[in-house]
Structure 1
């Protein structure tokens, strides 16, 4: 088991132990002047980390914003912006003190009021945040550096929630920025993280620049995954928007870029042999889960009986093969909603989800479906598109009318935010996001205002029970019951579990081996 995999297991266990080893971590050498040029999974379209679960926004946010707590490689949650905290004997009042010297990118100090405003804005938009609010949480500033969270009932997950690695992230932003946004997205992208967003160098469709924030004061501890001293060793990270993966792979080989988040599967063997290129292949919870997210709010999939037909039309091995995913980086079948090779892996409820196109056609004929168009939002050129096209073919054979609409990911994000005008979109997500009922996008957001709008009252109760479970055994039992309900109500249909190899130049040193792109601590040696 890799170190990073261990970190994910620790997060799932809800560990919140604090460790503060005494250490020092120097600022980067002034001679380090080379910018780091990277190609991420897509262009960053949504810059507001409170407003989306998109992984690309999370990657952006981890560099530009900061959080009160962060997870280390063993899954423990450590203070990040917080200096210390105290908890009352009855567990109902938490008192947090910020560490001194925190500043936003506009040079304003970070205050307790900013933390209260940020958490109040984030919590209603996040599944775990809503659980915190359900525990009666009220937040108040008690001075410039101290704020409190008062509860009506104990909430043992407090530190795990404030330090969660899952989007939407509970990042801290200026209170004035949060207030100016109202119910919309923030306009001023001002964080207090180790990088600052250079707005006047943002060229939509071309590039984005994150510059080292000279006013950032790292923690004294060495960096450890998402916690510790985030020391930036490069003056800038340039995020390149490159038209297609093949062009990106060529740019990696020639040294035009230093890092590519997702390598084309068919080019991985060649890239692994290329001089100066290294390939990062990850397993376990650093793999991804592919899903067909269904719209339960309108259209044909508002009928749960119609949604359930799709279980008969998906063969995961066939889907993965269609997407060009090689055997070495895929699992031919995984029935677990919460990831295979993971603490909560189970086949509970999967008995009726057997690939059987003839049975699917017969099942559709028994529903009230009358041939209404199923609108599938497809991301042009993605591996999800191949999986979606195969599903569309199977659906047509079963009697569905399918309208595939191909667009870029940014447009999908915009379209899927509306309750009407779409029926399904294929997507894939980080395993760390999908490996727990409390963070799985399409389970944790049950009965919430979240894209897809699936709702099961029994699942809502089970999620409450899971959050209050006393031990791992109890959590496993409740997770199995949640999975059974998910197979029954079909908020989503999995199309496979797989790894997405990343590639980077060998001159890039200090890169964390993770499915999360992390660029603090990275150094560029001479070519």
Structure 2
């Protein structure tokens, strides 16, 4: 997860114009080894890839894995345009209710089987119920059916202007195309065979949990003819392999990068930046606007102290974004402190609507808490060990204690947080940071788009889904902005999450790498060494 395309330019079409997780490093033992020979890159991504099923989680590391192993029907270009990817042609009926899609020639899965329309239909049917935008599409779908081996049709009950935006959205879970034959009959089960349709092949036989994962070039992948453009265009692989290493902490990864033991580190420790900037063999990639990160505390509304809305409202007065980012050590040039907008600052929908409560005042919070029904029950905070989100949690926990909360800080790796947060009991909040492209709109903001859905945190105000639906159908940017303001005002009352800061976290790479796409997602097609 990972936000790094350079500027916040914004026609991101309806989705981005209108406006996962997220995560910190999971620590494992590291044995230093030299970077591999030419043709292979050794990478340290944000965390270990723990969940391989691309529809099973919103974790950004799974999305990064997914974009290399699978392909999509449509994809987003850097300017926000949604372009065909696996699709060759598509047409819409005059009434906008019947859409027909034809696949490109030569598409194959990694086991050699052709990609068929039936695979696309099965993939979309499995994806839609698991994704907020997918559920919005599902609600207006009359049928999705093959119309031959390489074409299928989506028939709608009513026009859905966002159809192509939804099929090409970059927000997790992404509608990747997987073989119909590997989809479990149980809709809640995960896929167990990782058979992709994209430019890299997952090597199950070389996967060492806690140490490394290997992705090899897919020799049978047929790229589009267009130049690569963010997630769209031709994905031409010029490397033999990617080796994804698991390292214990950010500092170790930075040292390995400086020493030439790895080629790319997705998240650099801030206290290592000045040293790395002096290295002649290392380049840094810092980004701005919607390609920055938004840090959040996600609250559990289903149980514990924050099931009480009056207790939740106290928290707005306990988040000091400047202090949190200073504690993390984020240099001023990479920070955008004091941002009150759910939809990111320096972004199309930036707003202060409803943000009056976002004012740090421990004394006021203490008085407010006394007027609630809070009786000292523990606030269980899940923290990722040795991560910047843990530092954010430490600062927040201290303010909470000063206001009168009992705080139980529990430290673990990110995989354990993912498992714990799936249960409605046993936790109160966790800190996380997410790509700006995942937070810039009510349609894709994790904690707004999932309002009143079965999504960890279980926040619900029935007004929000109705307004989000109106937002999706709005025909102009001013109308979208007005609706986004209304949604944010309600969100400040509901408190599904609290923003702890907007910032950029530079990636670092050895300058022997050529052709690296400046992107908020780690992308390694077009890269050569």
Q: 2:144 aligns with which of 126, 132, 139?
A: 139
Instruction: Kindly report which structure 2 residues correspond to 1:288-327, keeping only aligned pairs within 5 A, or say none.
Output: 288-327=293-332
Aligned to 1:269: 274
* Distance in 2, Cα, partners of 1:170 & 1:137: 19
Alpha carbons of 1:485 and 1:511: their partners in 2 closer, same or farther (altered >3 Å)?
same
Residue 154 of structure 1 aligns to a residue whose secondary structure is coil
Aligned to 2:416: 411
Per-residue deviation, residues 292-349 of structure 1 (Å, max 9, x unmatched): 0000111111111111111011111011111111211101210111000000000000
Structure 2: stretches of 5+ with no match in the other structure: 19-36
Per-residue deviation, residues 417-436 of structure 1 (Å, max 9, x unmatched): 11111110000000010011
Instruction: Kindly report which structure 2 residues correspond to 1:58-77, keeping only aligned pairs within 5 A, or say none.
Output: 58-77=63-82
Shift of 1:3: 7.4
Paired residues of 1:9 and 1:342 also in contact (CA < 8 A): no
Q: 1:84 aligns with which of 84, 89, 95?
A: 89
Shift of 1:6: 5.0
Task: Please report the RMSD computed on the Cα atoms of aligned residues, expressed in angstroms.
Answer: 1.5
* Distance in 2, Cα, partners of 1:60 & 1:333: 33
Alpha carbons of 1:68 and 1:405: their partners in 2 closer, same or farther (altered >3 Å)?
same
Residue 345 of structure 1 aligns to a residue whose secondary structure is coil
* Distance in 1, Cα, partners of 2:524 & 2:274: 25
Instruction: Kindly report which structure 2 residues correspond to 1:61-460, keeping only aligned pairs within 5 A, or say none.
Output: 61-180=66-185, 182-460=187-465
**Relative CO higher for 1 or 2, CA cutoff 8 Å, sep ≥ 6?**
2
Residue 390 of structure 1 aligns to a residue whose secondary structure is helix
Alpha carbons of 1:380 and 1:137: their partners in 2 closer, same or farther (altered >3 Å)?
farther
* Distance in 2, Cα, partners of 1:332 & 1:119: 39
* Distance in 2, Cα, partners of 1:397 & 1:184: 44
* Distance in 2, Cα, partners of 1:143 & 1:377: 49
* Distance in 2, Cα, partners of 1:207 & 1:176: 28
* Distance in 2, Cα, partners of 1:467 & 1:459: 12
Per-residue deviation, residues 75-110 of structure 1 (Å, max 9, x unmatched): 111110111111111111111111111111111111
Structure 1: stretches of 5+ with no match in the other structure: 17-31
Paired residues of 2:327 and 2:392 also in contact (CA < 8 A): yes
Q: 2:12 aligns with which of 10, 13, 16?
A: 10
* Distance in 1, Cα, partners of 2:187 & 2:358: 43
* Distance in 2, Cα, partners of 1:474 & 1:363: 36
Residue 183 of structure 2 aligns to a residue whose secondary structure is helix
Q: 2:510 aligns with which of 496, 505, 511?
A: 505
Residue 171 of structure 1 aligns to a residue whose secondary structure is coil
Alpha carbons of 1:121 and 1:3: their partners in 2 closer, same or farther (altered >3 Å)?
closer
* Distance in 1, Cα, partners of 2:197 & 2:189: 21
Shift of 1:182: 3.4
Shift of 1:222: 1.2
Alpha carbons of 1:309 and 1:175: their partners in 2 closer, same or farther (altered >3 Å)?
same
Alpha carbons of 1:47 and 1:11: their partners in 2 closer, same or farther (altered >3 Å)?
farther
Residue 12 of structure 2 aligns to a residue whose secondary structure is helix
Paired residues of 2:7 and 2:289 also in contact (CA < 8 A): yes
Alpha carbons of 1:12 and 1:240: their partners in 2 closer, same or farther (altered >3 Å)?
farther
Shift of 1:368: 1.2
Residue 508 of structure 1 aligns to a residue whose secondary structure is coil
* Distance in 2, Cα, partners of 1:221 & 1:422: 48
Scaled by the length of structure 1, the TM-score of the pair is 0.94
Paired residues of 1:304 and 1:489 also in contact (CA < 8 A): yes
Shift of 1:392: 1.0
Paired residues of 2:16 and 2:441 also in contact (CA < 8 A): no
Aligned to 1:522: 527
Paired residues of 2:10 and 2:16 also in contact (CA < 8 A): no
* Distance in 2, Cα, partners of 1:33 & 1:326: 34
* Distance in 1, Cα, partners of 2:521 & 2:509: 14
Paired residues of 2:253 and 2:265 also in contact (CA < 8 A): yes
Paired residues of 1:69 and 1:163 also in contact (CA < 8 A): yes
Shift of 1:181: 5.6
Per-residue deviation, residues 483-527 of structure 1 (Å, max 9, x unmatched): 101101100000000000110001000001122100000011xxx
Alpha carbons of 1:139 and 1:206: their partners in 2 closer, same or farther (altered >3 Å)?
same
Shift of 1:52: 0.9
Residue 184 of structure 2 aligns to a residue whose secondary structure is helix
Shift of 1:399: 1.4
Greater Cα shift, 437-446 or 322-331: 322-331
State the aligned residue count: 508
